[in-house]
Structure 1
């Protein structure tokens, strides 16, 4: 049985190249949290989180946090738990239920309002 770590809407798999703390911080980074927020959440210093994320980026062979998350997903180290919900919605759409589809409203016609000015009301220029 493979050990997993769940953090919010993300699930991480241990034993696939990252240390447990690196995986925890990676899951928090995948949720869009900064190093300071992750540090506050786990009760450690922000430089500790930055170092662990740096080590995880080195192990995955990337230079940016967004690339780290993408590479971890590609290697199936982490996976968003929303895939289950997305697949259910996709299956529902394939079945043909029209209740889930959103119809667009037709745009309202915008008509220009032209104001007719009588000859007597027009300003006249005198020299």
Structure 2
């Protein structure tokens, strides 16, 4: 039997087995999508305090003190990444640059 080692939400993939528990990773993906704790809790079907506690645990594990630093550090450590479907190839980025939209 195989288990999933990643979860995807909002165009972002989170990877299990890299230091975050499942609930922490779910909350991290919601936060990375720009959701508040209350919005994340609604989407995950739990209490806002559950999300806040999971976010506090991840703050401690990644040694950060705010949500922006949390997301940056999670990307840096490979805990989360953009989902393959929403990550355009360099050629596609060049094509879209004609639309007046800057893609960093």
**Shorter-normalised TM-score: what interval?**
0.7 to 0.9
Partner of 1:25: 27
Within 5 Å, which residues of 2 pair with 1:60-71?
60-71=62-73
Deviation >3 Å, runs of 4+: none
Q: 1:101 aligns with which of 81, 98, 102?
A: 98
Question: Structure 1: which 5+ residue stretches go unaligned?
Answer: 104-127
Partner of 1:89: 92
Aligned length: 97
Question: Structure 2: which 5+ residue stretches go unaligned?
Answer: none
Distance in 2 (CA, whole Å) between partners of 1:88 and 1:15 is 33
Over 3 Å counting, the alpha-carbon distance change for 1:86 and 1:22 in structure 2 is same
User: Could you state the TM-score of these two structures normalised by the residue count of structure 1?
Assistant: 0.68
Q: Which structure would you say has the larger RCO, counting Cα contacts within 8 Å and 6 or more residues apart?
A: 2
Over 3 Å counting, the alpha-carbon distance change for 1:50 and 1:88 in structure 2 is farther
Structure in which a larger fraction of residues adopt helix = 2
